[in-house]
Copies of this chain bind each other. A is one copy, B any other.
Amino acid sequence: MTTIEDVARAAGVSAMTVSRVINQGKNVRESTREAVLEAIERLNYSPNTAARSLAAGQATHIGLLYANPSAAYLAQFLIGALHAARSAGVHLVIESCESEDADEQAEVIRRFATSEVEGVILPPPLSESAPILVELEALQIPVVTVAMGTPREDGLNVRIDDHAAAMEMTRYLLDLGHRNIGFIKGHPNIIASHDRYRGFCDALKEAGLDPETAPVEQGYFTYRSGLTAGERLLSRRTTPTAIFASNDDMAAASVSVAHRRGFDVPRDISIVGFDDTALATSVWPELTTVKQPIAAMAEAAVELLITDLRRRRAGAGHKFTERVLSHAMIIRESSAAPPAASRPKKVKASQSA
């Protein structure tokens, strides 16, 4: 293993200078910096994280509190967080907080705080949990929220542009020729739900359609809620030719309902989701959806937190930071142009879920 000392010798400078180049690089002459970087490159040096955190008394443990998201989401999120944590040389301490009860949530946080966690990452839905945020604030623990719609003043947040993504997806359906598009909303406590719904409405308006008349049902991001909402949409007098569900789980549920009622997807009806979790490709037909860069968001969250921690230690007040990552449309097999005869097949039964 090459050490900082090796690099220093190779570049003809002291170890300290190398350290400066690596870390922030203020007060280093440009020519020196280049020489050091070249040496680092040549020797393929990477700093020893153990030594670094020991010497700097640096953050070594950051917390990740999760609750009950879809397993696919969590797995991807963990992978991203883990990757970033390793690069930064910090340990990830993860804990679950399934309870909805404010007191219990506070209890979990307090336990968390007594452990050596120096900052916390909150993926959804916890990023919107007021009791948790309040408790962390009280304990003075820095937080990065993920996918939260209305960032707190002074807070760190990572998200995608849900509004724009929902607009894109809606435009895509409109471009295919759909005019009667059903929408399944996400959990009302999550701000992103509203953003997605607004995006849907705005795209309709843009196309000269009235969002008020569009068939919309409330969902809660669960597969079960998608079943109910899907049933309702398909029980309407005029069946929509497309359904835009606020996440993949509800889209998959809608596909299941449509199949049960004898619709062919996408011939009779297009169904699209949001998130691009593993579920999207494990149902048939595979879902057209919006890809959230979940792992990248987790990485961004870890990096943001570590930067903030460092800034705090350096005495600088932390400042409001938000990172908006880019999403992508993933066109698969669950979407197509509406049937020529824009009237769908007759509905077989009308049982409600």
Interface residues of A (CB under 8 A from B): 1, 48-51, 53-54, 60-61, 70-72, 74-76, 78-79, 82-83, 85-86, 89, 91-94, 96, 116, 222-224, 227, 256, 259-260, 277-279, 282-284, 353
Chain B residues in 8 Å Cβ range of A96 = 79
| A86:B75 contact, CB within 8 angstroms | no
Given contacts A91-B49, A260-B260, A282-B224, contact A78 B82 (CB under 8 A): yes
| A54:B48 contact, CB within 8 angstroms | yes
CA distance A279 to B96 in the complex (A): 18
Chain B residues in 8 Å Cβ range of A284 = 224, 227, 353
Chain B residues in 8 Å Cβ range of A91 = 49, 85-86, 89, 91
CA distance A51 to B224 in the complex (A): 49
Question: Closest approach, in angstroms, between the C-beta of A4 and any C-beta of chain B?
Answer: 13
Which residue on B lies nearest to A76, using beta carbons? Answer: B71
CA distance A96 to B75 in the complex (A): 12
Chain B residues in 8 Å Cβ range of A277 = 71
Which residue on B lies nearest to A54, using beta carbons? Answer: B50
Of the candidates B71, B94, B222, B227, the one whose C-beta lies within 8 Å of that of A72 is B71
CA distance A277 to B282 in the complex (A): 15
Most buried by B among A54, A75, A93: A75
CA distance A216 to B287 in the complex (A): 31
Of the candidates B51, B94, B223, the one whose C-beta lies within 8 Å of that of A282 is B223
Which residue on B lies nearest to A48, using beta carbons? Answer: B54
Which residue on B lies nearest to A89, using beta carbons? Answer: B91
Chain B residues in 8 Å Cβ range of A71 = 70-72, 74-76, 277-279
Given contacts A86-B91, A94-B83, A282-B223, contact A51 B54 (CB under 8 A): yes
CA distance A187 to B261 in the complex (A): 31
Most buried by B among A74, A76, A93, A96: A74
Question: Closest approach, in angstroms, between the C-beta of A104 and any C-beta of chain B?
Answer: 20
CA distance A260 to B86 in the complex (A): 47
Which residue on B lies nearest to A74, using beta carbons? Answer: B75
Identify 29 residue pairs between A and B in the complex whose beta-carbon atoms are under 8 Å apart, listed by A's number: A1-B116, A48-B54, A49-B91, A50-B50, A50-B51, A50-B54, A51-B54, A61-B86, A70-B71, A71-B74, A71-B76, A71-B278, A72-B72, A72-B75, A78-B79, A78-B82, A79-B94, A79-B96, A82-B92, A82-B94, A86-B91, A86-B92, A86-B93, A89-B91, A224-B282, A227-B284, A256-B256, A259-B260, A284-B353
| B283:A223 contact, CB within 8 angstroms | yes
Question: Closest approach, in angstroms, between the C-beta of A294 and any C-beta of chain B?
Answer: 11
Chain B residues in 8 Å Cβ range of A93 = 86
Question: Closest approach, in angstroms, between the C-beta of A118 and any C-beta of chain B?
Answer: 12
Question: Closest approach, in angstroms, between the C-beta of A108 and any C-beta of chain B?
Answer: 15
Chain B residues in 8 Å Cβ range of A70 = 71, 278
